Amino acid sequence: MAAALIGSVGFYEPSLETFTAYLERLEQFFIANDIGQYAADATEAIKKAADKKKVAVIISVMGSKTYNTLRDLCSPTAPKDK
């Protein structure tokens, strides 16, 4: 069973904060919950897996409006593959 997460990030609301501020909060959420963290001497495979986990989290918490914008900007590639 997975451990409960500490805190929450919520959707990105451009009227409330800049995207840079949102990413700063998201990075702290990652650290607090040990998401995508790895040792300094980690292999490239471990780093890639950690980054993939961070991408999955940000896509799942960013909100549908922001995700749709991201999808349009990445088209024809899926955001998860960028």
Q: What is the pLDDT of residue 53?
A: 94
Are residues 82 and 50 in contact, defined by beta-carbon separation less than 8 angstroms? no
Tokens of 73: 């900007």
For 20-28, the CB contacts below 8 A with 24+ separation are 26/57, 26/58, 26/61
Compare 2 and 68 and report the one with higher pLDDT: 68
Mean of pLDDT over the chain: 92
Are residues 10 and 61 in contact, defined by beta-carbon separation less than 8 angstroms? yes
End-to-end, the C-alpha distance of the chain in Å comes to: 30
Tokens of 72: 């349009």
Q: What is the pLDDT of residue 5?
A: 85
Q: pLDDT tens digit string along 14-33? A: 899 998 999 999 999 999 99
Residue the block writes with tokens 């980690």: 42
Q: pLDDT tens digit string along 48-66? A: 999 999 999 999 988 899 8
Compare 72 and 8 and report the one with higher pLDDT: 72
